[in-house]
Structure 1
Amino acid sequence: MIPYFSDLSANERTYLAWIRTAVSLMGFGFLIERFDVFLVYTTRGAVLNNGLHMRASEWLGLGMILLGAVLILLATRTFYRNCRLIQAEAETPYHGTTVERGLTALLVGLALFLVLYVGYQLTSLN
């Protein structure tokens, strides 16, 4: 029997959840990066407003792809740190909430930007 197997398995499941989140974030970033192609195609017959910022979706998509890559690196670092701490005999306090709070704030900011951006694009097409 592997010592601390249930704790190590829970750590691995958490790591895989972070990886799935990062891959989803990267896929969503790619979708957003290509959103301008969709807008050009749907507005081909319409008169485009000069305030229509097509480049913003490209930068936001690229940022989300990079955020997904950074998230994979952070998740891997945390996974190995937690493996060492689980197998160590000494007790250590838990202190892993700063990165998670920062990522949560960043994702909420991205979501608000997307709502405002898509809302602006839709109102400028009318």
Structure 2
Amino acid sequence: MIPRFTDHAANERTYLAWVRTAITVMAFGFLLERFDIFLSYASRAGGQPISNLHTRASEWLGLMLLLFGALIVLFATFRFYRNRKLISSDETFAYGGRLFERLMAAALIAMALFLIVYVAHQIMALS
């Protein structure tokens, strides 16, 4: 039997949840990077191409989300192995590692605010 199996299993489930989150963030980044195709199609379908659409912003934000997803996997892997080592240890440790979660939350909030402003601007340009 594996000592502290439930703790190791919880650590692995948490790691897999981070990986799923990273895949979702990267998929959204890819979709957003290709958002300019939708915008140009929608503007042409509306009767006239609109020249003031800022599609470069969606491309850059999509690329940032792709990189952010890769960083999530990297940091989640480091955290998984650190927690695995701490679980196997007989010593008692204080729970730590909240900085990464706070930085990710702040980055996602900043990206969400940018998306709100960006999409609102694009909708106004299409109107």
- RMSD after superposition: 0.9
DSSP-derived class of the 1:90 partner? coil
* 1:56 aligned onto 2:57: yes
Which position in structure 2 is the counterpart of 1:94? 95
Kept in 2, the 8 Å contact 1:28–1:64? The answer is yes
Tell me by how many angstroms 1:46 deviates: 2.3
Unaligned runs of 5+ in 2: none
Matches within 5 A, 1:1-126: 1-44=1-44, 45-50=47-52, 52-126=53-127
Tell me by how many angstroms 1:56 deviates: 0.4
Kept in 2, the 8 Å contact 1:49–1:124? The answer is no
Deviations 1:61-113 (A, max 9, x none): 00000000010000000000000000001111111101100100100111111
CA distance in 2, matches of 1:66, 1:26: 8
Q: Percent identity at matched positions?
A: 54
CA distance in 2, matches of 1:60, 1:47: 23
DSSP-derived class of the 1:43 partner? helix
CA distance in 1, matches of 2:36, 2:15: 33
Tell me by how many angstroms 1:14 deviates: 0.3
Code of the residue aligned with 2:24 in structure 1: it is: S
CA distance in 2, matches of 1:115, 1:13: 32
CA distance in 1, matches of 2:125, 2:37: 17
Code of the residue aligned with 2:58 in structure 1: it is: S
TM-score by length of 1: 0.96
DSSP-derived class of the 1:48 partner? coil
CA distance in 2, matches of 1:3, 1:112: 45
